[in-house]
Amino acid sequence: MKPKIVIGNWKMNKNFDEAEDLISEIEEKLADYNFETEIVLCPPLVYAELVTDHANEEGSQFYAGVQNVSEYENGAYTGEVSAEMLAGMDVSFCIVGHSERRKYFGETNEIVLKKMLRLLANDIVPVMCCGESLDERKSGKHFEIVQKQLEESVYKLTPEQMERVIIAYEPIWAIGTGETATPAQAQEMLAFIRSLIEKKFGTEMAVNTYILYGGSCNAKNALELFSQQDVDGGLIGGASLKADDFFKIIEAGETVIKEN
């Protein structure tokens, strides 16, 4: 079993002082350990430099990530931030295709693909989110929806590009709702996603690709979710805003690795 990856998605939360405090608290908690679990903090973009400064410190145990990037390379796109700019700030990971961006900002699969290509060209790891709505699940269309999201994004990558992508399955009905997918539901979908990767890119790629679960993953349920065979870690929203909870989720990742 490969080490887990735990990614904190702060969304649009924390003022500057609170962001500094949260990073320091996480650092203090990690200081006594040398975890195998890879940890990524994705604060709001405006704090990217804050988090990269900390991530670049000697002995730091986390990587710097952000939650969005422009689909364009550079030029007259007021308010946008390019992948090249992020790379220049030492950002290592970037979330793309989060359901909140799909819903509120019209991020289509086509845009998701463009963003991934920009990130990959700048050596930033895309964390590509997919997942179905409650209606889609209730009508039994969840596999079809996720398959389409993958076919229109990661399926268009070359194997060399795909090697550097992380996939996060986040059922929309579980995001921020407190209603987590059951471990069996998470496992079922992640195994399906892995089978799609296998079909397109082969067995080795399928085995090596990191596929995370996200959606009300917390300190209490992380161990059970991470114990599922195909769950390579978590994309954590609400619970990543409290150092204690986030640390317990990282510990859950460690526990699973040590037991296997």
**Residues with catalytic annotation?**
98, 170
Q: Measuring CA to CA, how many Å separate 127 from each of 30, 96, 153, 238?
A: 23, 6, 12, 18
Nearer to ligand PGA, 10 or 35 (CB): 10
Tell me the window of 80-88, 120-128, 136-144, 169-177 that interacts with ligand PGA (CB under 6 A). 169-177
Q: Sign (positive/negative) of CA torsion 255, 130, 126, 53?
A: negative
Q: Measuring CA to CA, how many Å separate 221 from each of 5, 86, 212, 224?
A: 16, 33, 14, 6
Angle, helix 16-30 to helix 48-55, in steps of 10 degrees: 20
**Which amino acid is residue 36, in one-letter code?**
E
Nearest to 2 by CA among 230, 190, 169: 230
Shortest CB 240 distance to ligand PGA, Å: 7
Tell me the window of 51-59, 186-194, 222-230, 235-243 that interacts with ligand PGA (CB under 6 A). 235-243
Is 175 a binder of ligand PGA (CB under 6 A)? Answer: yes
The alpha carbon of 120 is separated from its chain's Cα centroid by a whole number of angstroms, namely 15
The alpha carbon of 182 is separated from its chain's Cα centroid by a whole number of angstroms, namely 19
Q: Which residues contact 133 (CB under 8 A, 6 or more apart)?
A: 145, 172, 173
Per-residue mark of binding to ligand PGA, 199-218 (x: CB under 6 A): ---------------xxxx-
Shortest CB 231 distance to ligand PGA, Å: 14
Is 40 a binder of ligand PGA (CB under 6 A)? Answer: no
Is 170 a binder of ligand PGA (CB under 6 A)? Answer: yes
Is 253 a binder of ligand PGA (CB under 6 A)? Answer: no
Shortest CB 235 distance to ligand PGA, Å: 5
Is 166 a binder of ligand PGA (CB under 6 A)? Answer: no
Shortest CB 214 distance to ligand PGA, Å: 4
Site for ligand PGA, rule CB under 6 A: 9, 170, 175-176, 214-217, 235-239
